[in-house]
Structure 1
Amino acid sequence: MTALIALATALGLALTLLTAAAPPAAAADLLSQGRPATSSSTENAATPASAAVDGNTGTRWSSTFSDPQWLTVDLGSIATISRVGLRWEAAYARAFQIQTSDNGTAWTTIYSTTKGTGGAQTLDVDGKGRYVRVQGTQRGTAYGYSLWEFQVYGSGGGTSPGNGIPDPTTASLEATDGPLTTATYTVPGPSGFGSGTVTYPTTGGSYPGVVLMPGYQGTQENLRWLAPRLASWGFVVINVGTNTLTDDPAARGRQITAAGTQLIALGNAPGNPLSGKLNGTLGAVGHSMGGGGVMAALRDDPRFRAGVPTAPYYPNVNFSSVTDPTFFLTCQSDPVAHGDTYAVPWYNSMSQAEKLYIEVPGDHLCPMTGYGDKATQGKWIVSFLSLWLRGDTRFSPFLCGAVRDADKNNTSLVTRWMDTCQF
């Protein structure tokens, strides 16, 4: 009996030691939130693909009312996928698959069911890929497919240089053009805005879209300098002419939304140079009343995920509800839209947004073509949109930390700088 007790004690101690020595299982990371998302269709402008990966359970993606339909998220690089979360709206999938792909073309199914019940689902899966999609093949209702959230968990993922975009440097970001070759395309039959010229990367791959909106009495010339800079760093840029030169900020906001809608439609349509170029994520840059329009688009259109209002003008409007990353670029000697009048109060009121505020020397025209320091303005705008529209953290040091301090502390270059770093 004594020997048996001793043996049991020894075995128990050994098991305790083995258990203590075993490392805990690695926690799965949420890889999909805020990443670029695309879909086979959307029911309307208020239910874009991006709404299913924004972390907001009050926004959703919904498709048209037909089978099949899909929603895809780009994780940025190949990742190991261990779990998928689906939070369905009432319009759910009875039959669907979870699929992964390294290139967005060849797909591997890692989960399949024909007995979906909707609601909140957590699926344990085992797969690898840069792209993950939910492919609905049979609707559970007469409506389409609708997801409040599509969450992909695992390890890896993140930013991949991809599409020929090398690591940025101060010199490369301050150059007139970035690393990608570009071309232009005139929008046929603009709908909801006056005119549009698109500058886009000629390399393969899909990219975020950016709308450029001029100010009062302005034309596409206002922000012409910015279009090729952004496009050559991996954006599809539509430079917009307004319906009339006197359109107010509210009208310019609606035209930004209309231009974004048509840009995505061109990306989804065959037979034009933009086919397949848009990943469904949108941003906007605007000057003066166009900057006010950017704020309206961020407030009113969930497809727009980041904005750069420059010398923005929009009297008697509260934008405290804007939660998307916003970069205010203002001019120190601006007699029309000084930062203290518009941008600073908006900045201070936006308690839920990541924010950057930079004031530079010059008057109201300082962000326009032919005025101001375009090397640094371009560097900041490209970095901000690369970080928040592509999730490319390689650009963060130019906005936060030691690298940006050379700009921030140069009083001949920057007269006021505020931010919510670290981002």
Structure 2
Amino acid sequence: MPHVQSAALANPQPRTWLRRKTLAGAAIVLGVLTATAAPAASATANPYERGPAPTAASVAAPTGPFATSSTAVPRGNGFGGGRIYYPTATDQGTFGAIAISPGLNGTWPGIAWLGPRLASQGFVVFGIETNNLNDSPVSRGTQLLAALDYLTQQSSVRSRIDATRLAVAGHSMGGGGALDAALRRPSLQAAIGNAPYLPSGSLSNDRVPTLIYAMQNDTLVPPSRLTTLYNTIPAATEKAYIEVAGAGHNYIGQPSTTLARTMIPWMKIFIDNDTRYSQFLCPLTNQSGISQYRNSCPLI
């Protein structure tokens, strides 16, 4: 059954990522049977699994199982440069990748803790700089897509990346940019908006699994606005809403276990098709620091 926690009022229907992509119009009864009858994915069945079986401790750890390195990218190619973080392992095959944008007047160093933390869990992470500090969400969305194209086609780590498994994320206007990018490129595997500012206020055409973070004490992009935005996401699209208790708009500027232990499962489930991570979100096993949680579980 779909799982709704805290003050969540959404009433999502059970479905799976594969079914969402291929059988969006199937009967709910069939969806339930599929979800309950299908065996759990294994490393043999899923070639995209990376790393050991996860635990509550491993998704919350400051460092994951992969050693990482990084390389700087100069300005150009449609965005303002940035830094790429990647696992150094060469015996695991290719990795999924995620491009991340900072917010208004922000630069990548302000949220750079995300780079090594996420890369050490088995992703290539591209923290971008924007062309201008005040670029709009639409401009940031364009730059995130340009960054993904550069990452997979021109970057020095392109051979390490599976170009079919890409995602976007961002903070504030960068979060709005990530959601805008998802609207324009539905082939993306996941999108994450942290306190996202999206002027249109609508994700009615969103086909990408989308996680929205709201900050409980945010006065710039308040939870009420993001709850409304979340509710515009179609029922056929996998989604989740997390409100971080006591947090302000720039909460993401400091390393956060609350963010990491929920972002990592979202990316693993949708970028890597790794159902081993659904246990952390369906249900939300650790509600510490989270004041509201809504979802379209089972997310598998």
Please state which band the TM-score falls in when normalised by the shorter chain. 0.7 to 0.9
CA positional deviation for 1:369: 2.9
Question: Is 1:279 equivalent to 2:159 in the alignment?
Answer: no
Secondary structure of residue in 1 paired with 2:230: helix
User: What residue is the counterpart of 1:365 in the other structure?
Assistant: 250
Mark the CA change 1:275 to 1:313 in structure 2 (over 3 Å): closer, same or farther. Answer: closer
Give unmatched runs, 5+ long, in structure 2. 1-16, 25-40
Question: Is 1:288 equivalent to 2:172 in the alignment?
Answer: yes
User: What residue is the counterpart of 2:106 in the other structure?
Assistant: 218
Deviation per CA, 1:300-342, whole angstroms, max 9, x where unpaired?
013422111000112234211102111111100101001211x
In 1: Cα distance, 2:130 partner to 2:48 partner:
36
CA positional deviation for 1:418: 0.8
- What is the 5 A alignment of 1:254-403? 254-266=142-154, 272=156, 274-280=157-163, 281-341=165-225, 343-351=226-234, 352-360=236-244, 361-369=246-254, 374-401=256-283
From 77, 89, 94, the counterpart of 1:206: 94
> Does the 8 Å contact 1:309/1:328 carry over to 2?
yes
Give unmatched runs, 5+ long, in structure 1. 1-32, 35-53, 58-74, 79-156
Mark the CA change 1:405 to 1:76 in structure 2 (over 3 Å): closer, same or farther. Answer: closer
Secondary structure of residue in 2 paired with 1:367: helix
From 280, 286, 289, the counterpart of 1:406: 286
Q: Which amino acid in the other structure matches residue 345 of structure 1?
A: T
From 240, 254, 259, the counterpart of 2:128: 240
In 1: Cα distance, 2:237 partner to 2:200 partner:
20
- Report the identity percentage: 32
TM-score computed with the length of structure 2 as normaliser: 0.81
In 2: Cα distance, 1:76 partner to 1:243 partner:
42
Mark the CA change 1:55 to 1:264 in structure 2 (over 3 Å): closer, same or farther. Answer: farther
Deviation per CA, 1:353-373, whole angstroms, max 9, x where unpaired?
111111012110112235xxx
- Which structure: greater strand fraction? 1
Q: Which has the higher contact order (CA 8 A, sep 6+)?
A: 2
Deviation per CA, 1:9-44, whole angstroms, max 9, x where unpaired?
xxxxxxxxxxxxxxxxxxxxxxxx86xxxxxxxxxx
Mark the CA change 1:76 to 1:243 in structure 2 (over 3 Å): closer, same or farther. Answer: farther
Question: Is 1:416 equivalent to 2:299 in the alignment?
Answer: no
> Does the 8 Å contact 1:206/1:277 carry over to 2?
yes
TM-score computed with the length of structure 1 as normaliser: 0.58
> Does the 8 Å contact 1:161/1:167 carry over to 2?
no
Deviation per CA, 1:254-288, whole angstroms, max 9, x where unpaired?
00110011001136xxxx3x141110121011000
In 1: Cα distance, 2:60 partner to 2:83 partner:
24
> Does the 8 Å contact 2:75/2:82 carry over to 1?
no
Deviation per CA, 1:39-76, whole angstroms, max 9, x where unpaired?
xxxxxxxxxxxxxxx5499xxxxxxxxxxxxxxxxx98
RMSD: 2.2
User: What residue is the counterpart of 1:190 in the other structure?
Assistant: 76
How many residues matched? 261
- Which structure: greater helix fraction? 2
> Does the 8 Å contact 2:280/2:286 carry over to 1?
no
From 250, 253, 259, the counterpart of 2:138: 250
